[in-house]
Amino acid sequence: MNLVFDIGNSSTKMALFNGEEIILSFRTKDVSYRKLQSIIIKYRREIKKAIISSTKPIPEFVPDLLSLNLPELIVLSANTKLPFKIDYTTPETLGTDRIAAVAGAFHCFKGGDTLIIDAGSAITFDYLCDKRFVGGNISLGINMRLKALHRYTSKLPLVFLTGKAATPGRSTDGAIEAGVIFGIVYEINEYIRTFLVEHPGANIVLTGGDAGFLKDKIAFPVTFLPDVVITGLNYILEHNAK
């Protein structure tokens, strides 16, 4: 079995894979020594490999525990052996969650041209073209936009999502929620439209914490893959074992 860690800005997802099948997964705000130790003790004989992707500093006990108890550990970086090439001028600054998401899409669509939209704390648009990760763009996520409007103005309130955004907004709260939600939807739609003009028949993947909220608001068919990052991490781990 493989143990996969996706340490994000707001939470950590851990998963156990048996081949390509997810047999256990959970999300937690913080990784605890006790929780990780309990998983290792329970599955020590079955887990053969582990991989970590992190958008922030990794707690020291995580690689220490894994290295001491498992035969193989990979801490993902742009230097890790990957099934695709990275065309990025600053690979050392490239988020490993983005690498993993591209790997997941590469695996799911056998290297076909794909736009991967990850709607999390930030929204990333990553381009897989001709079996190469050619780069992408980064934008503000939903909560980041709501907080920024409040923080950087004198009078605008901090608004929380109601899920009832309508345009035009008929109150200040409604105008803020509608402006953020419809602004993001229009942004996503235009990214997709442009990508499909340049790459007809390409795949569009939507993932991330806000993807479930956004997927039915997008004007184009998308493939909703909430597990694309951990799937990509497992694929990278197996690719390195070959």
For residue 35 the two structure tokens come to 């929780």
Averaged pLDDT for residues 219-232: 97
Judged against a pLDDT cut of 90, whether residue 31 lies above it is answered with no
Closest residue by Cα to residue 26 from 34, 16, 18: 16
CA distance linking residue 176 with residue 241, whole number of Å? 49
pLDDT for 139 equals 98
Indicate the average pLDDT of the chain.
Answer: 94
- Yes or no: say if 179 and 186 are a contact pair by the CB < 8 Å rule: no
Helix (H) or strand (E) holding 5: strand 2-7
pTM: 0.93
CA distance linking residue 226 with residue 217, whole number of Å? 17
pLDDT for 241 equals 86
Judged against a pLDDT cut of 90, whether residue 30 lies above it is answered with no
Closest residue by Cα to residue 72 from 93, 49, 53, 95: 49
Integer angstrom CA distances of residue 123 from 60, 137, 205? 28, 8, 13
Domains annotated for the chain, with CATH where assigned, are 2-75 (3.30.420.40), 85-230 (3.30.420.40)
- Yes or no: say if 178 and 204 are a contact pair by the CB < 8 Å rule: no
Residue 160: pLDDT band (50, 70, 90) is: very high
Residue tagged active-site, from 6, 64, 87, 97: 97
Averaged pLDDT for residues 154-175: 94
Helix (H) or strand (E) holding 223: strand 223-224
pLDDT per position as a tens digit, 116-143? 999 999 999 999 999 999 999 999 999 9
Signed CA dihedral, 214, 220, 221, 225: sign only: negative
Judged against a pLDDT cut of 90, whether residue 32 lies above it is answered with no
Averaged pLDDT for residues 7-36: 89
Residue 109: pLDDT band (50, 70, 90) is: very high
Judged against a pLDDT cut of 80, whether residue 195 lies above it is answered with yes
Burial of 241 (0-12, 13-18, 19+ CB in 10 A): exposed
Give me the residue label for tokens 């004989």.
45
Judged against a pLDDT cut of 90, whether residue 11 lies above it is answered with no
Nearest 10 degrees: CA dihedral of 173, 177, 179, 185? -170
- Report which residue type is found at 180: V
Strand, coil or helix: 192: helix
Within 13 Å of residue 63, how many CA atoms lie on the same side as its CB?
13
Judged against a pLDDT cut of 90, whether residue 10 lies above it is answered with no
Averaged pLDDT for residues 58-85: 93
CA distance linking residue 213 with residue 149, whole number of Å? 21
The answer to whether residue 216 is catalytic is no
Judged against a pLDDT cut of 90, whether residue 29 lies above it is answered with no
Residue 146: pLDDT band (50, 70, 90) is: very high
CA distance linking residue 193 with residue 216, whole number of Å? 16
